[in-house]
Amino acid sequence: MLSPDQPIDLTNQGGINSLISTTQDHSVLISPEITDPSTINKIRDKIIEYVVQPGDVTSLIAARFDISTNTVLWENNLTLYSTLKIGQILKILPVTGITHKVVKGETLQSIATKYKSNQNKILDINKLENASEIQIGQILILPDGVPVTIKVAAPVYTAKNIVAPSTPAQISSSKLQWPAASYYITQYYSWRHTGLDIGDKTGKPVYAAEDGIVTKAGWNNGGYGYYIMIDHGNGLQTLYGHHSKLYVSAGQRVTRGQVIGAIGSTGRSTGPHLHFEVRINGVRVNPLTYIR
């Protein structure tokens, strides 16, 4: 406790004035030293908008708001390959997780289970008294929630299902067709990488590079995820990996440009893309040499 006769130097105390009070006997009380109240971060429970600044990347923005990078990507329909633009407006959740719009027939428990969130955390962050308060059309924040993974049943095939071409496939052009709608190459062929990675959004089409017979269409434990292999005859084969959906099965004849699957991120993958390989007599070669 300080006596009123003792001088108090406030010239270098910043906002300490708000922390001082005087008692009835004119003594002065100073509260314990704490951070300036104006700089104390309050726990946020609302979605805010953030305007992208020069030099921003999703990982830095996520770190700034103490949420995961995936949270920023999911809420703004972005991928690891998306490019942010200065002035772009991003929705920023208050916690790591996702949002969900309530539809008819859903309960809070079913939503929590579906997205691997926690019912009590959902109630707390959304300021709900109980589970019965959710309404159809309401946007809920789901702490620690993750998107539902699209599971594709692998077609059942055996050696009996695979029909080898009776005659070599006719190559309709001197170059193979580009196998995706996107031309964004995220990784080139090299001695360490056996194909070409083409970045695109999940669900975008994958095209057969040439006429041929599908020899494999299913799950691969070696990292390709859901993949397709096509035999074009004359020792030429193509491979398409990481699909989210497969539209063909082993033994099926396909034509150049036919949609055979959908872009995904299954298997050993860090984001949605197509892994495309060209093989000549079983040897992996640079696809760019054979594709237009």
Do 200 and 263 contact (CB within 8 A), yes or no? yes
Residue 17 pLDDT exceeds 80:
no
Fold of 48-143: Membrane-bound Lytic Murein Transglycosylase D; Chain A (3.10.350)
Q: What is the pLDDT of residues 229-253, one digit of tens each?
A: 999 888 899 999 999 999 999 999 9
The CATH 3.10.350.10 portion of the chain extends over 48-143
Residue 50 pLDDT exceeds 90:
yes
Q: Would you give the DSSP letter of residue 180?
A: B
pTM, rounded to two decimals: 0.45
> How does strand 259-262 pair with strand 205-207?
antiparallel
Q: What is the share, in percent, of the chain residues with pLDDT greater than 70?
A: 75
Domain over 184-289 is classified CATH 2.70.70.10:
yes
The CATH 2.70.70.10 portion of the chain extends over 184-289
Cα dihedral sign for 131, 135, 136, 142?
Answer: negative
- Residue 82: its pLDDT value, please? 67
Structure tokens at 28: 């002065």
Cα separation of 27 and 102, whole Å?
A: 58
